[in-house]
Structure 1
Amino acid sequence: MERTTPIIRFGNDGWHARFDEGFDSQNVIRVADALGLLWADAAPDSGGSVYVGFDTRHRSEEFAREVAGAIASYGLAVKVSSSPCPTPVVGWNCAHDPKALGGVVITSSERSCEYGGLIVRGADGGACPREFLDKVEQEIFQQASTEAGPFEVADLTSPYVKALAEFVGEPVIRPLKVVVDPMYGSATGVLADLVRSLGHEVIEIHAEKLEDFDGIHPDPKDPWADACEQAVVATGADLGILVDGDGDRAAAVDEYGNILAVRELTPLLLSYMGGELGMRGRVVTTLTCSASVELEARRLGFEYTSVPVGFGRIYRELQEGDVLLGAEEYGGISIPAHLKERDGLLVSLLLIQMVSKSGLTLRELVNKLDAEIGSRRYIRRDVRLEPALTQAFRNVLPGLNPQEIAGRVPVEVSHADGLRLQFDDDSWVLMRPSRTDSVVRVYAEAPTARERDELLESACSIARGG
């Protein structure tokens, strides 16, 4: 079969495309062929295993079985989930099988219903190196093969759920009323049943099988979180929990129906793990995460590391083995003692346990933490430019070193991922050109909204060439 220049390009962890723009059986099998070829080459003489999962999207189960057949044709032992499953399920199964070569999940995570996706996981359930994904692209043939090997359909979710319950460990201290919103995604039923099994009352919404997701994006943030926020208030629930379409990210809603910002949720979880649970280790975040995480890590006496954007960069730190928590700006959190990948279901259980054990409400816990480390105001804005202007900004960025911005003098300047300026009160601003679009992403954080917005506007002006 003759190779051609691949038209399928991988993002950070896989391939995503609209169903009407190429996400179909032919192209899914082409990718599976490339994965099967590479994994078979890497397999020991005794063979290796591959795990395949799928979400609730259009034809996801069908695509998963086509992927399984194509990979199995290379002599590999393939197990396909018997039902829709969160992405962490596949990662966990890989991590607990010494013969695992990797995994595939048919999902497009938080994207709208028009998109399909194929996510790849490594042998330990974590992110695949960029070098491996580049090799996959290079091995994609022009035509899909017609070969299909035998594969096993198995319950991949139950062992994972049992492991989650054991990790959380303690029985319920104070029963709570919890609104669980799986956003029509692959955590439907799984998270709600698990929370019930731990002794809490659960109201599950957005749990029907609707391939159009009733018009929402399965992304746990406003405005898509509106229904969960309203349900918490209407039912008098103690809190609400949302997970995205493939279950690797979570968000929380307080008793007043307000969704917690990522800058609140991540340090709050860290406070619980390092304080109440007594867990220890290094904290790793991307450079674009809120300073609140670093401030809480310092308060707890933890070593703190920041890395450029992309969970793959965090994953490399997780492999060192001394990390307690890894977090990215969008709310993806990994607790490597459980899995070297993001897991929204585990984060959800820990947040519920924290509220249950504390005797406080979720908002009271946030306010308590703010009193200890200070409240922050965080924002991101995308500055869209002509392609030539974006490239020009990329070219000048390495030598850009403003002496002041918004009337403030930076105490630290970093070019590790764009340009990041740090100030003496832990305020900061970062300008980072997108790797794929004609956009400069600008981030700013400060103790007040006014100071934050001043930094943001000045940085946007710099990005535009002002």
Structure 2
Amino acid sequence: MKENILFGTDGWRGIIAKDFTFSGVESCAEGVARYHIAQNLHNQPLVIGYDTRFASKEFAEHAANTIARNNIKVLLCENTTPTPVVSNAIVDFKASGGIIITASHNPYNWNGFKYRTSYGGSPDNNEIRTIENFINSESFSNNLENHSDTNGNLQKQIEHINPFTPYFKKINALLKIEDIKNTKMNISVDSMHGAGSGYIKKILKGGSIKINEIRSLLNPNFPNMYNPEPINHNLIPLKKSISKHKSSVGLAFDGDADRLGIIDSNNNYVTTLQTFALLAYYLLEIRQLKGPIVKSLTTSNMMWKLGEKYGVDVIETPVGFKNIVPEMIQHDALIGGEESGGFAFKGHIPERDGIISGLFILDLMIKTKKSIPELIENLFSIVGPHYFDRWDIPISKKDQSKTIEIAKNLNPKRLIGKNVIKIDHLDGVRFTLEDGSWVAMRFSGTEPLIRIYSETTNQNNLTMLLYECAKLLEIVD
């Protein structure tokens, strides 16, 4: 009996050849096709894209054949494509949904299968469960081997598309791209060998801005890094580029370019919580836009303070864009974001977009004539200082149930010498301290890790708080 395929925080992921196989991709694609037929969506096309990982193109073509076999038209991206660009194509081509073969920020030996809805965003939990039921249904899984292209018409159902043109058009609708192109700014860009390679250069070509791009060659091994995630320890080459070229800022994208990482001109890593707050400040203060902020529980308390200052609601959700997207749509939110470095914006698809996030940061710097360190200093003058870190601790399947049980029963009265004033279980467990600091613990929905997150108003307390919680979970000495 085959093991059921289940979607995590964002789709189904697994180690290539061990867990993630052509058979599994076929089951997922067949399940999506059956779902679209059941929802009467099969008369509209379905977009399929893929990243730079090993065999992603072949997995995407296999998924395309499976969808086409069900008499559903497929719009297949002609080259490796960032996730937000695929999502934008879904809306632009009036498709019924989309499939993206990518494992995003996971290590090189992983791949994944993401599904996107007709509005380009992540499906909600009810949609996910329904699709999973189709994928794992015995009623069709036993017949997959016999489901062949008897009429030889598959290729007539598959059309290759270039999704960059509509994406570029959307970018120009969201901001004045000429303002960025014509600045004298010197920037460094780290594409981390992923699907975002060349995009910033292509978008800003023909202007006076100088772009120094590194790790732009497509390489499925993602060499010299554990995984293509734009966080501090993976961005040493970007820091070297900033020093070499005297860049004003460094922008980095993960494997499918739906996340943004930033290194400032002093070679300091800008936390994703600071980036989220800067983007919200940019929209609310510089662009003078209004609308609610949607944040996952592991993002910053700065969002509550910005919401209060600018008179907008702040809505908190569990981790994952599948939880953020419904709230963004329901409340017509201005911005949605999560700690991973993924941010979505009103007027665009309700989907993380590292590329447009990076362009907004450049526009913020140009409009204010401030560097990133100056912008953070200005931000802290409004909301007070906030410091953040995250620990990712590998954990085996056999230890997960024990750790989950420990976490559920934790009830500390004090941490780092301060009273715990609130405990909640919105997603994992989170402790709020009397000084406003917080620490949260949850299992990753994409990797075999337990993540411990913390934000404090005193930088000296940050590591101590993370360590005390790791000790409570009995995962450090």
Same fold (TM over 0.5): yes
Alpha-carbon offset, residue 345 of structure 1: 0.8
Residues 63 and 318 of structure 1: is their aligned pair in 2 closer, same or farther, counting only changes over 3 Å?
A: same
5+ long unaligned stretches in structure 2: none
Q: Secondary structure at the match of 2:169?
A: helix
Which residue of the partner structure matches residue 15 of structure 2? 18
Cα shift readout 1:199-221 (whole Å, capped 9, x = no counterpart): 52212211223332334332111
Q: Is the 8 A contact 2:406 2:473 kept in 1?
A: no
Aligned: 1:188 with 2:185: no
Q: CA deviation at 1:157?
A: 1.8
Residue equivalent to 1:301: 311
Partners of 2:353 and 2:44 in 1: how far apart? 25
Please show how residues 58-137 of structure 1 align to structure 2 within 5 Å: 58-98=54-94, 100-129=95-124, 130-137=128-135
What is the CA distance between 1:53 and its match in structure 2?
Answer: 0.8
Which residue, out of 171, 185, 210, partners 1:164?
171
Distance 1:128 1:360 in 2: 38
Give the TM-score taking structure 1 as reference length.
0.90
Is the CA contact (8 Å cut-off) linking 1:196 and 1:202 kept in structure 2?
A: no
Cα distance in 1, alignment partners of residues 292 and 160 from structure 2: 39
Q: What is the CA-CA distance between 1:40 and the residue it aligns to? A: 2.2
Q: Does 1:138 align with 2:140?
A: no
Q: What is the rounded CA distance, in whole Å, between the counterparts of 2:433 and 2:10 in structure 1?
A: 34
Once the two structures are TM-superposed, the CA of residue 104 in structure 1 deviates from its matched residue by 0.7
Q: Is 1:42–2:44 an aligned residue pair?
A: no
Displacement of 1:440: 5.0
In structure 2, relative to structure 1, the CA distance for the partners of 1:116 and 1:294 (3 Å cut) is: same
Please give the alpha-carbon distance, in whole angstroms, between the structure 1 residues aligned to 2:190 and 2:392: 29
Counterpart of 1:444 in structure 2 is: 454
* Per-residue deviation, 1:248: 0.5
CA gap 1:435/1:110 in 2 versus in 1, 3 angstroms: closer
Q: Which string of whole-angstrom CA distances, capped at 9 and with x for unpartnered residues, describes residues 208-267 of structure 1?
A: 233323343321113321111110110111111111111101112211222211122111
Opposite residue 146 of structure 1, the aligned amino acid is: S
- The aligned amino acid for 2:148 is T
Secondary structure at 1:370 match in 2:
helix
In the TM superposition, what are the counterparts of 1:296-375 in structure 2 within 5 Å?
296-375=306-385
Aligned position for 1:226: 236
Q: Mark the CA change 1:405 to 1:353 in structure 2 (over 3 Å): closer, same or farther.
A: same
How has the CA–CA distance of structure 1 residues 372 and 396 changed in structure 2, closer, same or farther, with 3 Å as cutoff?
same
Contact kept? 2:105, 2:255, Cα under 8 Å = yes
**2:276 counterpart SS class:** helix
CA distance in 2 between partners of 1:198 and 1:338 (Å): 24
Change (3 A) 1:65 1:435: closer
- Return the alpha-carbon distance in structure 2 between the equivalents of residues 457 and 112 of structure 1: 25
Structure 2 CA distance for partners of 1:329 and 1:84, relative to 1, 3 Å: same
Alignment of 1:217-296 (within 5 A): 217-296=227-306
Match of 1:202 in 2: 211
The count of corresponding residues between Structure 1 and Structure 2 is 461
Further displaced range: 391-400 or 162-171: 391-400
In the TM superposition, residue 387 of structure 1 has moved relative to its aligned partner by 6.7
SS of 1:105's equivalent in the other structure is strand
Q: 1:160 to 1:132 in 2, by over 3 A?
A: farther
Distance 1:240 1:384, change over 3 A: closer
Deviations 1:145-183 (A, max 9, x none): 433453101112211122112211263163311212211
Q: What RMSD, in angstroms, separates the aligned Cα atoms of the two structures? A: 2.7
Q: In structure 2, the residue corresponding to 1:61 is in which secondary structure? A: helix
Amino acid at match of 2:371: T
Q: C-alpha distance in 2, partners of 1:79/1:108? A: 21
